[in-house]
Amino acid sequence: MSKTEPRITLTEVARHAGVSRATVSLVLRDSPLVAAETRARVQASAEAVGYLYNRGAATMRGLRTRTVGLLVTEIDNPFFGELVAGAEAALEAAGYIAFLATTADSVERQQRALQRLREHRVDGLILCAAGGTTPQDIATLAGQGMPCVQAMRQVRGSRGDFTGADNLLGLEHLTEHLIRLGHRRFAFAGTAVMNSSLRHRLDGVETALRRHGLPAPLVLRTAATRQGGAEAAETLWRMRDRPDALVCCNDVVAFGAIPALQRLGAGIGQDIAVTGVGDVPEAANGNPPLTTVATDPRRIGQEAVRLLLRRIAQPAAAMEQVVLPARLVIRASCGAAMPLPAGAA
Amino acid sequence: MSKTEPRITLTEVARHAGVSRATVSLVLRDSPLVAAETRARVQASAEAVGYLYNRGAATMRGLRTRTVGLLVTEIDNPFFGELVAGAEAALEAAGYIAFLATTADSVERQQRALQRLREHRVDGLILCAAGGTTPQDIATLAGQGMPCVQAMRQVRGSRGDFTGADNLLGLEHLTEHLIRLGHRRFAFAGTAVMNSSLRHRLDGVETALRRHGLPAPLVLRTAATRQGGAEAAETLWRMRDRPDALVCCNDVVAFGAIPALQRLGAGIGQDIAVTGVGDVPEAANGNPPLTTVATDPRRIGQEAVRLLLRRIAQPAAAMEQVVLPARLVIRASCGAAMPLPAGAA
DNA sequence: ACGCTATTTTAGATCGATCTAAAATGCAAA
DNA sequence: TTTGCATTTTAGATCGATCTAAAATAGCGT
């Protein structure tokens, strides 16, 4: 059946309206060249014959595709869920649509996804780079003239647009708060695969501790997952000179650590403070509610889109790096809901 | 600079390899027509000149785009996060890539997204239809020859491929369990916007109650969100002849209802049982852990892809509806962790 | 060397839009 | 009526791949 039906192209619209293909093309793109009367007639004809614009054909003459690639490590993590939601909404508002690809933190999968996105001629990329991505990888994209914004994670030593949370300052504030509550021996969990985001979080903890003359944190090289959080908790609880504060690299790790510690008999907030990073909606809702550093992933997604559209419009513009403030959210899991003095970001 | 650089097309590869464009095209698509020696030479040339396949150009000759549209209501809900993750992985394995679009349960946004996806000539659609989608909308897609699989929600009265969870049986089992624990007065929360999935969940509750000669549940027409859950909790708690079981339409609603009830002084599991649907990872982790009906969203995503690829390959195949089993997961929020007899799905 | 078939390769048209450069049209002034 | 200028419209080439139908080449038996 699809053999016989003649597909409806701009030629059919032109025939129906009694004008040339060129005129129809101009009308479709709202060119001011065409007379108002003609425009109306053509639009009516397009409607009448059931015309559907073919973006692929237009792209062949070198036009933008109005698509971008959205590469994240995992979409089931609510943190990236929010980031993607923010980006998707901003793209939709700008008339763009996103190809979604996930890498599971594997550079091979990331490479395959990039190849496919380039074949589809995306206008640009929002990239939460997989661990192990090299500055050379980022430079290669730039060399191909592919606009690219790194979100959340910045490949160490790479150049280019970036947006993410102020992990360094956020974790400093968190650590200061824990110190003020009387905690002295710190552990940091979830560093099995390192990336710039994690690096800064750990740096923030170390900086604050150093400032107070306290020993560096114990670094637990477990996975940045629920499961990894549980493992970190078990390791930690078995120690002789056990830490009294467990700073998890993100909320999901804390969600894994807390029930594990509870099973082992720990009183969260009493025997040990546990904190996360991200402030995903579930954080307010745990047992106990989680003290965390809010990084506003939805906002990061929006900002990444803004940077990307700017880069697409002006490929040679100066590079821009937007670090969004991180906000300390104090709940019960750190032992005391003592608010910071006003003015602390 | 992009003006001067001659873009590398199949013509350049042909020139470099000393063959015709047609031959290069055959090599690119692994045609058996071309001699092994020639094939190798062309592949080497493609590599040498840095050739990148242009899918858009190929599409113009009527080839598949190898893209599909993935339309969900919200991507920040972990339930859909998992569904999308499952679908994305399955698509990637099949050499497809997904356009992601979200509708926020608005038919207008859904309509805009569909239009854009059609302009991009997606090979098919996985659709979690927005509330208010009509059978006519689905029929229109079919009339356009657009392969479409409905996931999770099936537009009432529509025809076509579908996959989702067995909400009816799942909620019947859940209700039976609550009845066995001694609960008698039921409420059901989250029906502000109705869809087939919600309909079946409510039906399941009603069927089980009827079977036991118990009164129909009180239906709370609150939003299917965290916020809506909290509102339902407050309404319910103020009642004189208060229900003793709150069945929430999904986990997120339960996550909103539980802390609200606790603030009002209710003992979850003692004064009132609260349950969810979905079994997102956070469910095991709440305060208290949530009794829920596991619907395996990741699996639903995979299954939707299988159905869609089948439909794309065989547009005229018989329609298929795959209802995946839902599993009762008993935790503390229902008051007692009494396991069902073996054999209950 | 010849015809014959089987295997490889290719020229040129084609998909559906856009772009360029030129042609048609309208209108006012000369 | 003609000229000049601005406004509208258009023919035809073009983007980069694929397809068709035909041509070139190879292989084989006689």
Residue A1 has pLDDT above 60, yes or no: no
- What is the Cα Rg of chain B in Å? 26
pLDDT at A4: 41
Per-residue pLDDT band for A335 (boundaries 50, 70, 90) equals: confident
Give me chain A's average pLDDT, please.
93
H-run or E-run covering B210: helix B196-211
- Is B134 among the domain residues? yes
* Chain centroid to CA A161: 14
* Residue B99, strand partner residues: A99, B69
From the number of C-beta atoms within 10 Å of its C-beta (0-12, 13-18, 19+), residue B111 rates as: middle
CB under 7 Å from any atom of strand C: which residues? A 7, 9-11, 21-22, 25, 28-29, 51-54, 57-58, 60-63; B 18-23, 26, 33-35, 37-38, 60-62
CA A111, B92, A134: angle at the middle one, nearest 5?
Answer: 15
Burial of A34-56, coded b for 16+ CB within 10 Å and e otherwise, reads beeebbebbbebbeeeebebbbb
Same-domain status, A75 and A137: yes
pLDDT at A253: 95
Per-residue pLDDT band for B341 (boundaries 50, 70, 90) equals: very low
Interval A20-25 mean pLDDT? 96
Interval A134-140 mean pLDDT? 97
Going by the DSSP 8-state scheme, the letter that residue B286 receives in this structure is B
Q: Report CA dihedral (A297, A299, A305, A311) to the nearest 10 degrees.
A: -110
Q: pLDDT tens, B17-33?
A: 999 999 999 999 999 99
Same-domain status, B245 and B193: yes
Pairing mode, strands B273-278 and B291-294: parallel
Residue A139 has pLDDT above 90, yes or no: yes
Q: What is the CATH number of the domain that holds A303?
A: 3.40.50.2300
Same-domain status, B148 and B226: no
- Contact assessment for residue B305 and residue B124, using Cβ atoms and an 8 Å cutoff: no
Question: What span, in angstroms and rounded, lies between the C-alpha atoms of B306 and B37?
Answer: 37
Same-domain status, A155 and A14: no
- Is A3 among the domain residues? no
| A149: closest CA of chain B, how far (Å) | 19
B52·A118 Cβ contact <8 A: yes
Interval B176-186 mean pLDDT? 96
H-run or E-run covering B188: strand B186-189
Domain assignment of residue A239, given as a range:
167-294+328-334
Interval B161-187 mean pLDDT? 97
CA atoms within 13 A of residue A208's CA, in its CB half-sphere: 25
* B74 interaction partners in chain A (CB closer than 8 Å): 85
pLDDT at B340: 40
More confident residue, B195 or B204: B204
Residue A190 has pLDDT above 50, yes or no: yes
Interval A120-128 mean pLDDT? 97
Same-domain status, A277 and A210: yes
- Is A60 among the domain residues? no
Question: Whose CA is closest to B58, among B14, B9, B130?
Answer: B9
Same-domain status, B188 and B143: no
- Is B147 among the domain residues? yes
Same-domain status, B161 and B253: no
Which tokens sit at A159? 């150049």
Residue B344 has pLDDT above 50, yes or no: no
Nucleotides of C under 7 A from a protein CB: 7-12, 14-21
Token pair 């079946």: residue: B200
Same-domain status, A205 and A229: yes
Number of domains in chain A: 3
Residue from the list A59, A88, A101 with its beta carbon closest to the beta carbon of B97? A101
Interval A142-159 mean pLDDT? 95
Pairing mode, strands B148-151 and A162-165: unpaired
Q: pLDDT tens, B236-280?
A: 999 999 999 999 999 999 999 998 999 899 999 999 999 999 998
pLDDT at A5: 57
Q: What percent of chain A has pLDDT over 70?
A: 95
Q: What is the CATH number of the domain that holds B48?
A: 1.10.260.40
- Is B342 among the domain residues? no
Token pair 């740096």: residue: A203
Question: What span, in angstroms and rounded, lies between the C-alpha atoms of A298 and A83?
Answer: 4
pLDDT at B287: 76
Residue B338 has pLDDT above 50, yes or no: no
A34 CA to C18 C1' in angstroms comes to: 15
Question: What span, in angstroms and rounded, lies between the C-alpha atoms of B294 and A203?
Answer: 40
Q: pLDDT tens, A254-308?
A: 999 998 999 899 999 999 999 999 999 888 877 788 999 999 999 999 999 999 9
Same-domain status, A158 and A176: no
3-state secondary structure of B297: helix
Same-domain status, B254 and B179: yes
Q: What percent of chain A has pLDDT over 90?
A: 88
B118·A52 Cβ contact <8 A: yes
Q: Report CA dihedral (A133, A135, A140, A142) to the nearest 10 degrees.
A: 120
- Is A93 among the domain residues? yes
**Strand D at less than 7 A from CB of B33:** no
pLDDT at B93: 96
Per-residue pLDDT band for B3 (boundaries 50, 70, 90) equals: very low
Encoded amino acid at A198, one letter: L
Q: pLDDT tens, A210-255?
A: 999 999 999 999 999 989 999 999 999 999 999 999 999 999 999 9
Per-residue pLDDT band for A7 (boundaries 50, 70, 90) equals: confident
Residue A73 has pLDDT above 80, yes or no: yes
- Is A153 among the domain residues? yes
Same-domain status, A186 and A238: yes
Q: pLDDT tens, A36-63?
A: 999 999 999 999 999 999 999 999 998 8
Cis bond before residue A288 (omega within 30° of 0): yes
Rounded to the nearest 5°, which phi and psi values hold at A28?
-60, -30
Interval A140-147 mean pLDDT? 96
A308 CA to D18 C1' in angstroms comes to: 34
Which chain A residues in 10-49 sit with Cβ < 7 A of strand D?
A: 18-23, 26, 33-35, 37-38
Nearest chain B residue to A68, by CA: B99
* Angle in degrees, 0-180, between the axes of helices B10-17 and B36-49, rounded to the nearest 10: 120
Which tokens sit at A310? 């700017």
B298 CA to D23 C1' in angstroms comes to: 54
* Angle in degrees, 0-180, between the axes of helices A226-238 and A251-263, rounded to the nearest 10: 50
Contacts of A151 (CB under 8 A, 6+ apart): A83, A87, A126, A127, A128, A162, A163, A164, A300, A301, A304
Same-domain status, B173 and B272: yes
Contacts of B195 (CB under 8 A, 6+ apart): B129, B131, B153
- Is B22 among the domain residues? yes
Going by the DSSP 8-state scheme, the letter that residue A275 receives in this structure is E
Residue B212 has pLDDT above 60, yes or no: yes
Chain A to chain B Cβ contacts (< 8 Å): 139
Pairing mode, strands B245-248 and B273-278: parallel
Question: What span, in angstroms and rounded, lies between the C-alpha atoms of A42 and A54?
Answer: 17
Encoded amino acid at B242, one letter: R
Q: pLDDT tens, B289-335?
A: 899 999 999 999 999 999 999 999 999 999 999 999 999 999 999 98
pLDDT at A78: 87
